Amino acid sequence: MTEQELKGVIHSHPEIMGGTPVFVGTRVPLQNLIDSLEGGESVDDFLDAFPTVKREQAIAVIEAGKLKMLESV
């Protein structure tokens, strides 16, 4: 996923949540997904807790993180 494609999934604007990166179309911070996964919750658990986030958005973020990590190896 390119940086441009990721902009269709996550965005940051000073007037939305003080500039915290959020999922497009929501006020759900990206950090909430990271915290959920680090805490042992599944993607489904996260989506149940934040129904405004689409599965495709969550998966795209995970895939982008995976690719970024693999690039740095």
**pLDDT score at 8:** 84
| CATH code of residue 27 | 1.10.10.10
**pLDDT score at 41:** 98
All residues at 6 or more sequence positions from 28 whose CB lies less than 8 Å from its CB, including other chains: 22, 50, 52, 53
Enclosing domain of residue 43: 3-71
The DSSP letter of residue 14 is: T
Total domains in the chain come to 1
Q: What is the pLDDT along the chain (73 residues), one digit of tens a residue?
A: 677 777 789 999 999 999 999 999 999 999 999 999 999 999 999 999 999 999 999 999 999 999 889 988 8
Q: How far apart are the first and last CA of the chain?
A: 17
What SS3 state is found at 73?
Answer: coil
CB atoms within 10 A of CB 4: 7
